[in-house]
Structure 1
Amino acid sequence: MARIGFLCLSATGHLNPTMALAKALQDRGHEPVFFNMIDNARKITELGLGFVPYGLTEYPEGTLKLIFEKISKLKGIEGFQYFMERMLVQAQVSFRELPQSITEAKIDALVIDQLFPGGATVAQHLGLLYASLANALAVNHEDGVPPPTLPWGYEETAAAETRNAAGWKQIAQAFTPWRECDNAQRALWDLEPYNDVLEDSFSPFAQIANQPQAFDLPRKNLPESFYYAGPLLHAAARQPLQFPWGQLDGRPLIYASMGTLQNGLDWAFRAIVAACVGLDAQLVLSLGGGVLTSTELGELPANAIVVPYAPQPEILERAALCITHAGLNTALESLTYGVPMVAIPVTNDQPGVAARIRYTQTGEVIALDQLTAEDLREQIVKVLDDPAYRERALQLKRDFASERPLVRACEIIESEVLSKIAASEADMARI
């Protein structure tokens, strides 16, 4: 059995699937230890998982709330720029503190978020084997598919491939400050420099996607170490939430959430509420714990239930439709319960998730800058009235279930990472 360190971003969309995987590995006898911000200590330790804080100078208690409040109001390029600012700070903190913390915790191997800054450099400096975990859409470069930050659909044409290649080049240029930051530290530690700060940092042994192959665009050039696992969901990794279940009246249920990051766009929430007025359905709107309150949305229609947070799996189990910002976890949870979607992507990899919703024909997509209550209502009615959307979502539900995502992810880590450590130790013992 191994002590496995986990390096992941602090946002809920990254933390929840990582905690689910850690809990599953713990169930198999391993000892997971998270290295994360102090604001996530309670969430992690309540699951019985190990926790070591880092970056207390840059990230004292209460910092995450301030970061999330700022993110909640950003979209598009502004959202990406703020993401890059935060990643550069976090990389410096990682280089300064994680080598000592990981060594003192006697970690045998690491699981590193694909987007955790500096994680692979730290692992290589310490001589530790690691698995990469794609909590967001996998960002493995392939000219046959568009980058996940761009809203382009999939096309098998030379023109599309040229367009995609230009998009990937644009992404690489945007990540230049991150690459330079990493390479400066790699030079200090006598490590080979990165050409591509993302691609070159991924594990050569195991790259695990919190995404099933059935919910991806056709890929042809993934490395042999890449594995689709599927939605990493563990019941113990979700906090119980109160909900007024008695207010549900049996009408078709529309669940709407803009996630826990991009949830400060008040006009988008108002458009969602207005779009559902008069429908023979009930709306459950989760505000995602952001800066907005239900009173700021004005007078609510009788068919709307607005809550700060909703118990998402339990609501989706009853839902006929999900209106989503196209966060990967919400999209995958919707399909886990066979629920079609109307997606309103905001930033980061959400345009790519929306492109996969469109490609799998499990929902419709509205660009944020084109969102109106009228257009949203039209898409809601379209998806609800056409049973084909539901049938395709139910097919993906069946595909997901057959994959056994958590079991598969654990087996990959054990066979492709931990077994190599055991073999190396055995060789050393024979010398």
Structure 2
Amino acid sequence: MMTIGRELQRRGHTVYLLGIPDVAHHASKGAVDFAAIGTAEFPPGALDSYLTLIRNVNLLTIRKGIDWAERMSRSLCRDATAAVESLGLDALLVDQCQTEGRTIADLTGVPYLSICNALNLEGDASGETPPPFLPWTPGEGRAVQRFRNRLGHQVFASMMAPIVTQTNKFRTTRRLPLLRNWEECISPLGTINNLTQGMDFPRGIQQRPMFYTGPYLDERPNEVPFPWEQLDGRPLIYASLGTLHTAKWHILEAIAHACANLPVQLVVSLGQWTQEDKTIALPGQPITVSYAPQLTLLARASVAITHAGANTVMEALAHGCPLVAIPLASDQPAIAARVTWAGAGVVVAPGQVTRKRLQRAISTVLEQTSMRMKAAALQQEILQAGGVMAAANVIETVLGDHLALRLNQQPN
């Protein structure tokens, strides 16, 4: 989002990040303005508590996550509406996961576009596209699969219902019509999607415009230190298992064992584990760093081992790098399913991780020319999609046309 914001600001627009106090530093790093919302419900430190919660997903944490979303919905509807009016904003860009954009737009008359930063959550009544968060495949005209997919979308909608209920409570106080489901919160003007069509499942029904732009890569110089002199010329394997849903230590150890028995050099970005009371000693003496200059390493890597987060997957493919995916939580199993469907890598389920299984998976990706060719083809598709420049073009065109139409409709 900050990458898009910087590009819009470069084009002469004034850009604000509206967020809870803990995200102010993102605005500073992104060189955009910031307006705090939700300060009563989310004092400084609240975000760290939430991220710690969702790193270990279970039924209890899911319930607490929904509680968080309900409180966020309440504060966003209240404070973001006030911020839009006080700042005199002309348009909004709303993360698709945030259901409050519709209500803010209804109250202020300001148009908005939805931004899909990970996986498109919109349902597909045809049953062709499987629901998010599950490693299912497209229906491809098969009745059983389509029925299963439609049922999955209904279950997902029921999971989102408490958030819609919270939003409707607010809408009632402002005498707005009630929302029937969360999908009514997606912008009718469309969604900007950071995947490409080649990395997304086909849809039977597309209710709203979908703009596939590819990933919003931040190509600014990365100041993260890295021991470049330790790279020795062997095929590079880059492993990063995320900063939110971080892998268990045994998975990192299995990756290291697998690479130690191959003629490769492993680089591991540890993320959360640098905060743990652990000795950072992995088999085979890989290069281990707290955080890595990821884009630069992916440009050199032969294989990326990832938790199948949308950002890392698309950044790897943007550099033509095939993948070994170990999906851990949230939408990662669904994104991993798209990796294998696109032919750009293989998946190893977390519960099936062993050093031998990972060694076979890495060897397969290294040796199969078809996977490298598919990753290279997706790299070209991402390049042609346009990334952040294309996203900014869509924003200027769609929202600009809408604002111009609204001005023309106003009485003299």
TM-score, L = length of structure 1 = 0.90
Match of 2:109 among 127, 136, 140: 127
Q: Is the 8 A contact 1:266 1:297 kept in 2?
A: no
Tell me the equivalent position of 1:314: 296
Match of 2:196 among 185, 190, 212: 212
Q: SS of the residue aligned with 2:278? A: helix
Tell me the equivalent position of 1:26: 9
* C-alpha distance in 2 between matches for 1:29 and 1:270: 48
Q: Is the 8 A contact 2:257 2:284 kept in 1?
A: no
* C-alpha distance in 1 between matches for 2:275 and 2:263: 25
* C-alpha distance in 2 between matches for 1:169 and 1:294: 39
1:349-368 → structure 2 map (5 Å cutoff): 349-368=331-350
Tell me the equivalent position of 1:37: 20
Tell me the equivalent position of 2:393: 411
1:96-107 → structure 2 map (5 Å cutoff): 96-107=78-89
Q: Is the 8 A contact 2:94 2:114 kept in 1?
A: yes
Tell me the equivalent position of 2:45: 62
Structure 1 residues 80 and 330 mapped into 2: Cα distance closer, same or farther (>3 Å)? farther
216-225 vs 30-39, greater mean Cα deviation? 216-225
* C-alpha distance in 1 between matches for 2:60 and 2:323: 26
Count of residue pairs the alignment pairs up = 409
Structure 1 residues 247 and 368 mapped into 2: Cα distance closer, same or farther (>3 Å)? same
Q: CA RMSD in A?
A: 1.9
31-40 vs 296-305, greater mean Cα deviation? 296-305
Tell me the equivalent position of 2:244: 261
1:182-197 → structure 2 map (5 Å cutoff): 182-197=167-182
Please report how far the alpha carbon of residue 67 of structure 1 lies from its aligned counterpart in structure 2 after TM superposition.
2.3
* C-alpha distance in 2 between matches for 1:330 and 1:77: 27
Tell me the equivalent position of 1:14: none
407-416 vs 359-368, greater mean Cα deviation? 407-416
Q: SS of the residue aligned with 2:339? A: helix
Tell me the equivalent position of 1:13: none
Tell me the equivalent position of 1:273: 256
Q: Is the 8 A contact 2:256 2:284 kept in 1?
A: no
Is the aligned partner of 1:169 residue 2:154?
yes
Name the aligned partner's letter for residue 395 of structure 2.
Answer: I
162-171 vs 83-92, greater mean Cα deviation? 83-92
Is the aligned partner of 1:246 residue 2:226?
no
Name the aligned partner's letter for residue 383 of structure 2.
Answer: A
Please report how far the alpha carbon of residue 408 of structure 1 lies from its aligned counterpart in structure 2 after TM superposition.
2.0
Structure 1 residues 205 and 135 mapped into 2: Cα distance closer, same or farther (>3 Å)? same
Name the aligned partner's letter for residue 164 of structure 1.
Answer: N
* C-alpha distance in 2 between matches for 1:357 and 1:350: 10
Listed as ranges, the gaps of 5+ residues in structure 1 are: 1-17
Please report how far the alpha carbon of residue 68 of structure 1 lies from its aligned counterpart in structure 2 after TM superposition.
2.0
Please report how far the alpha carbon of residue 107 of structure 1 lies from its aligned counterpart in structure 2 after TM superposition.
0.7
Please report how far the alpha carbon of residue 120 of structure 1 lies from its aligned counterpart in structure 2 after TM superposition.
2.1
* C-alpha distance in 2 between matches for 1:407 and 1:127: 27
Q: SS of the residue aligned with 1:380? A: helix
Q: Is the 8 A contact 1:23 1:234 kept in 2?
A: no
Please report how far the alpha carbon of residue 89 of structure 1 lies from its aligned counterpart in structure 2 after TM superposition.
1.6
Identity of aligned residues (%): 33
Match of 2:356 among 350, 374, 398: 374
* C-alpha distance in 1 between matches for 2:280 and 2:34: 42
Please report how far the alpha carbon of residue 265 of structure 1 lies from its aligned counterpart in structure 2 after TM superposition.
2.4
Structure 1 residues 299 and 226 mapped into 2: Cα distance closer, same or farther (>3 Å)? closer
* C-alpha distance in 2 between matches for 1:91 and 1:180: 10
Query: Relative contact order (C-alpha < 8 Å, sep 6+): which is higher?
Result: 1
* C-alpha distance in 1 between matches for 2:203 and 2:61: 27
* C-alpha distance in 1 between matches for 2:409 and 2:178: 30
Q: Is the 8 A contact 1:80 1:347 kept in 2?
A: no
Q: Is the 8 A contact 1:94 1:117 kept in 2?
A: no
1:113-124 → structure 2 map (5 Å cutoff): 113-124=95-106
Name the aligned partner's letter for residue 180 of structure 1.
Answer: T
Please report how far the alpha carbon of residue 87 of structure 1 lies from its aligned counterpart in structure 2 after TM superposition.
1.0
* C-alpha distance in 2 between matches for 1:100 and 1:253: 50
Structure 1 residues 297 and 374 mapped into 2: Cα distance closer, same or farther (>3 Å)? farther
TM-score, L = length of structure 2 = 0.94
Please report how far the alpha carbon of residue 177 of structure 1 lies from its aligned counterpart in structure 2 after TM superposition.
0.9
